[in-house]
Structure 1
Amino acid sequence: MIYVRRTIAALLAGSAIMVAASASAQTANDQPGGLPSSQPTPGAQVDPAAGDGAAEDVVVTGIRASLADALEIKRQTIGVVDAISAKDIGQFPDANIAESLQRITGVSVDRVNGEGRGITVRGLGPEFNTVLLNNRLLSTEAGGRSFSFDILSSELITGAEVYKSSEARLQEGGIGSTVILRTARPTDRAGLHFAGSAAGRHDNTSDRITPVVSGVLSWSNADRTFGVLASGIYDKRIFSLSNISTDGWIPDQNVDSNGDGVKDLRIAVPRTLNFTSTNSRRERIGGTFAVDFVPSDRLKIGIDALYTQQKVQSRTNQLGFYTDPDRITRATVNGNGTATSFTVLPATSSSGLAADNIVATNPQNARTYQIGANAVWDATDNLKVVFDAAHSNSRDASDQLFYVVGTREVGVTPTFQLDGPGGLPTITNILPTDDKSAPRLHCCSERGYRYGDTINQGTVDATWTVNSGILDKLQGGVLFTNRKKTTVSRESPDPLGCFYCGYLAVAPGSLFTNFSANVQGRDLTWLDYNAASLVQYYGSAAAVNQVGGTSQSAIDARNRFLAVYQGNNNSLDPIDRDRGSGTVRENTYAAYLQATFGGNFGDSRWTGMAGVRVIHTDLLATGYSVTLLNIIQNPADPTAAVPVYSPTVPVTANNSYTYFLPTLNFRVDITDRLTARLAGSRTLTRPTLSRLGLSQDFTFRPPNSNTISGGNPYLKPFLAWNADASVDYYLSKTSYVSLAGFYKKLENFIISGQQPEQYFGLTFIANRPYNAQKGDVYGLEAAVQTTFDFLPAPFDGFGASANYTLVRSSIRFDPSLSNQTFNVEGLSDTANVVLFYEKGAVQVRGAYNWRAPFLRQTFGPQSQPENIFGYDQIDLSASLRANENLSFFTEVLNLTNAKFKSYSRFEERLITVSDQGRRISLGARVNF
Structure 2
Amino acid sequence: MIFKRNVLALALASVGFCATSAAYAAAPLNDQPAGPQAASQNASPAQDTSTTDGTTKSSAGARAQAQKDAKAKDLQAITVTGYNKSVETAVDIQRYADTIQNVVTAADIGGLPDQSIADALTRLPGVTAERIGGEASQINCGGLSGNFIQTTLNGRVQPTTSGTNYVQFDQYPSELINQATVYKSSQASLIEGGVGCTIAMQTANPLDAKQEQTVNVDFRGSYNDQASDVYGANSMGYRFSAAWQGKFLEDTLGVGLGFARMVQPHVSEQFVGEAFDGLQTLNSTSSQQAYPSQGIQVQQNGGSEQRNGYVATIVWKPTDSLQISGDGFYSQYDDGSFGRGFRTQLFDQNQAQITNPILLPNGAVIGGTVSSNPATGTDPRTGNPYTHNFSVETTADDYTTHSTVLSGGLNAKWTSGPWTVVADASLSRASSSEVNLDTTADPYNGLGTANPTLMSQSLTYGLNGLNVGSLAVQNPGIYTNLGDMALSRYGIYPYVYHDKDQGLRLETTYELNDNPVVSAIEGGVYINNHTYNADRSAYVYGSEWGTSSGSELPLALNSSDAVTTCWRGDFGNFPCFLALNGAAILAANGITGTTPLKSWANNWTYIQSGQVDVKSRDAYLMADIDTNLFDHSVTGNIGVRVVRTSQYSSGLQEVDNNAGIPLTDQTGVTSSNYIPVTQGVTYTDWLPSINLVYHFDDADQLRLSAAKTMAPPPINELLAGHGAWEASGQYNLWSNTSPLLKPMYANTFDASFEHYFPESSGAFTAHVFTKHVESFVQQVTYNDFDFAGAGITVPIDPTTGRPYLNGQYQTAYNNTQGGTVHGLDLFVQKTHFLPGAWSGLGVSAGFSLTQSAVKSESTLSGPPQNQGLPGLSKKSATAALFYDNGTFSAQLSGTYRSSFVSDSQMSVNNQIVYFGPETVFNFQTAYNFTKNFSLLVQFLNLTNQPTRTYFGNTQQTGTIQYFGRTTYLGFNLKF
| TM-score, length-scaled by structure 2 | 0.81
Residue identity over aligned pairs, in percent, reads: 23
> For residues 424 and 754 of structure 1, do their structure 2 counterparts lie closer, same or farther at Cα, with a shift above 3 Å needed?
farther
> For residues 285 and 764 of structure 1, do their structure 2 counterparts lie closer, same or farther at Cα, with a shift above 3 Å needed?
farther
Deviation, 1:411, is 5.8
> Given the alignment of the two structures, is residue 373 of structure 1 paired with residue 401 of structure 2, yes or no?
no
Cα distance in 1 for partners of 2:904, 2:481 equals 41
> Given the alignment of the two structures, is residue 572 of structure 1 paired with residue 594 of structure 2, yes or no?
yes
2:516 to 449, 462, 469: 469
* Equivalent residue number for residue 83 of structure 2: 63
Deviation, 1:771, is 3.4
Alignment of structure 1 residues 832-851 onto 2, 5 Å: 832-851=878-897
* Equivalent residue number for residue 739 of structure 2: 713
Cα distance in 1 for partners of 2:910, 2:227 equals 34
* Equivalent residue number for residue 704 of structure 2: 678
Instruction: Encode CA deviations 1:838-887: one digit per residue, 9 max, x unaligned.
Output: 22411111111000001224999789751000011001111111122222
* Equivalent residue number for residue 793 of structure 2: none
- The AA in structure 2 aligned to 1:194 is V
Cα distance in 1 for partners of 2:344, 2:55 equals 63
> For residues 75 and 509 of structure 1, do their structure 2 counterparts lie closer, same or farther at Cα, with a shift above 3 Å needed?
closer
> For residues 112 and 288 of structure 1, do their structure 2 counterparts lie closer, same or farther at Cα, with a shift above 3 Å needed?
same
* Equivalent residue number for residue 111 of structure 1: 131
* Equivalent residue number for residue 424 of structure 1: 469
- The AA in structure 2 aligned to 1:191 is E
* Equivalent residue number for residue 652 of structure 1: 678
Deviation, 1:737, is 2.4
Cα distance in 1 for partners of 2:8, 2:614 equals 33
| TM-score, length-scaled by structure 1 | 0.84
For 2:576, what is the secondary structure of its paired residue? strand
The root-mean-square deviation of aligned C-alpha atoms, in Å, is: 3.5
For 2:185, what is the secondary structure of its paired residue? coil
For 1:144, what is the secondary structure of its paired residue? coil
> Would the aligned equivalents of 2:86 and 2:104 in 1 still touch at CA under 8 Å?
no
* Equivalent residue number for residue 166 of structure 1: 186
Instruction: Encode CA deviations 1:892-921: one digit per residue, 9 max, x unaligned.
Output: 111111000101131111111012331111
Instruction: Encode CA deviations 1:532-560: one digit per residue, 9 max, x unaligned.
Output: 33213555xxxxxxxxxxxxxxxxxxxxx
Deviation, 1:224, is 1.9
> Given the alignment of the two structures, is residue 77 of structure 1 paired with residue 77 of structure 2, yes or no?
no
Deviation, 1:825, is 1.7
1:810 to 853, 867, 879: 853
* Equivalent residue number for residue 598 of structure 1: 626
> For residues 39 and 144 of structure 1, do their structure 2 counterparts lie closer, same or farther at Cα, with a shift above 3 Å needed?
same
* Equivalent residue number for residue 261 of structure 1: 285
> Given the alignment of the two structures, is residue 204 of structure 1 paired with residue 225 of structure 2, yes or no?
yes
- The AA in structure 1 aligned to 2:565 is F
Instruction: Encode CA deviations 1:77-128: one digit per residue, 9 max, x unaligned.
Output: 2320111112289565411001100101110011211112111012111111
> Given the alignment of the two structures, is residue 784 of structure 1 paired with residue 828 of structure 2, yes or no?
yes
For 2:493, what is the secondary structure of its paired residue? strand
2:568 to 514, 518, 536: 518
> For residues 485 and 448 of structure 1, do their structure 2 counterparts lie closer, same or farther at Cα, with a shift above 3 Å needed?
same
For 2:890, what is the secondary structure of its paired residue? strand
> For residues 90 and 807 of structure 1, do their structure 2 counterparts lie closer, same or farther at Cα, with a shift above 3 Å needed?
farther
Deviates further, 582-591 or 402-411:
402-411
> Would the aligned equivalents of 2:556 and 2:589 in 1 still touch at CA under 8 Å?
no
> For residues 367 and 341 of structure 1, do their structure 2 counterparts lie closer, same or farther at Cα, with a shift above 3 Å needed?
closer
2:429 to 368, 376, 393: 393
- The AA in structure 1 aligned to 2:480 is D
Deviation, 1:60, is 6.3
- The AA in structure 2 aligned to 1:175 is V
Cα distance in 2 for partners of 1:46, 1:60 equals 26
* Equivalent residue number for residue 309 of structure 1: 332
For 2:84, what is the secondary structure of its paired residue? helix
> For residues 857 and 235 of structure 1, do their structure 2 counterparts lie closer, same or farther at Cα, with a shift above 3 Å needed?
closer
Cα distance in 2 for partners of 1:99, 1:40 equals 27
For 1:295, what is the secondary structure of its paired residue? coil
For 2:869, what is the secondary structure of its paired residue? coil
Instruction: Encode CA deviations 1:625-654: one digit per residue, 9 max, x unaligned.
Output: 235789xxxxxxxxxxxxx99744321102
> Would the aligned equivalents of 2:555 and 2:589 in 1 still touch at CA under 8 Å?
no
- The AA in structure 2 aligned to 1:263 is S
* Equivalent residue number for residue 191 of structure 1: 212
For 1:517, what is the secondary structure of its paired residue? coil
> Given the alignment of the two structures, is residue 800 of structure 1 paired with residue 800 of structure 2, yes or no?
no
Instruction: Encode CA deviations 1:499-523: one digit per residue, 9 max, x unaligned.
Output: 9952664543535331223374325
For 1:359, what is the secondary structure of its paired residue? strand
Deviation, 1:813, is 6.7
Deviates further, 586-595 or 344-353:
344-353
Structure 1: stretches of 5+ with no match in the other structure: 1-21, 540-564, 631-643, 700-705
- The AA in structure 2 aligned to 1:526 is F
* Equivalent residue number for residue 123 of structure 1: 143
> Would the aligned equivalents of 2:103 and 2:180 in 1 still touch at CA under 8 Å?
yes
Cα distance in 2 for partners of 1:647, 1:721 equals 45
> For residues 832 and 88 of structure 1, do their structure 2 counterparts lie closer, same or farther at Cα, with a shift above 3 Å needed?
farther
Alignment of structure 1 residues 223-262 onto 2, 5 Å: 223-256=250-283, 261-262=285-286
Aligned length: 846
- The AA in structure 2 aligned to 1:510 is N
For 2:161, what is the secondary structure of its paired residue? coil
For 1:71, what is the secondary structure of its paired residue? helix
> For residues 66 and 498 of structure 1, do their structure 2 counterparts lie closer, same or farther at Cα, with a shift above 3 Å needed?
closer
For 1:296, what is the secondary structure of its paired residue? coil
- The AA in structure 2 aligned to 1:371 is G
> Given the alignment of the two structures, is residue 415 of structure 1 paired with residue 460 of structure 2, yes or no?
yes
Deviates further, 575-584 or 416-425:
416-425
* Equivalent residue number for residue 298 of structure 2: 275
1:907 to 931, 941, 954: 954
Cα distance in 1 for partners of 2:394, 2:237 equals 31
> For residues 416 and 598 of structure 1, do their structure 2 counterparts lie closer, same or farther at Cα, with a shift above 3 Å needed?
same
* Equivalent residue number for residue 562 of structure 1: none
Cα distance in 1 for partners of 2:606, 2:189 equals 40
Deviation, 1:890, is 1.6
Cα distance in 1 for partners of 2:404, 2:112 equals 26
For 1:385, what is the secondary structure of its paired residue? strand
2:166 to 132, 146, 151: 146
Deviation, 1:596, is 1.0
Cα distance in 1 for partners of 2:8, 2:263 equals 28
For 2:204, what is the secondary structure of its paired residue? coil
* Equivalent residue number for residue 764 of structure 2: 737
Deviation, 1:617, is 0.4
Cα distance in 2 for partners of 1:498, 1:411 equals 18
Cα distance in 2 for partners of 1:34, 1:863 equals 36
Cα distance in 1 for partners of 2:8, 2:172 equals 19
> For residues 50 and 391 of structure 1, do their structure 2 counterparts lie closer, same or farther at Cα, with a shift above 3 Å needed?
closer
> Would the aligned equivalents of 2:23 and 2:54 in 1 still touch at CA under 8 Å?
no
Cα distance in 2 for partners of 1:628, 1:520 equals 53
> For residues 105 and 812 of structure 1, do their structure 2 counterparts lie closer, same or farther at Cα, with a shift above 3 Å needed?
same
> Would the aligned equivalents of 2:19 and 2:155 in 1 still touch at CA under 8 Å?
no
> Would the aligned equivalents of 1:37 and 1:47 in 2 still touch at CA under 8 Å?
no
* Equivalent residue number for residue 100 of structure 1: 120
For 1:140, what is the secondary structure of its paired residue? coil
For 1:150, what is the secondary structure of its paired residue? helix
Alignment of structure 1 residues 862-901 onto 2, 5 Å: 865-901=912-948
* Equivalent residue number for residue 288 of structure 1: 311
> Would the aligned equivalents of 2:343 and 2:395 in 1 still touch at CA under 8 Å?
yes
Cα distance in 2 for partners of 1:840, 1:531 equals 55
* Equivalent residue number for residue 817 of structure 2: 773
Cα distance in 1 for partners of 2:671, 2:388 equals 27
Structure 2: stretches of 5+ with no match in the other structure: 1-6, 30-47, 60-67, 69-76, 229-234, 375-385, 445-453, 599-604, 659-669, 726-731, 786-806
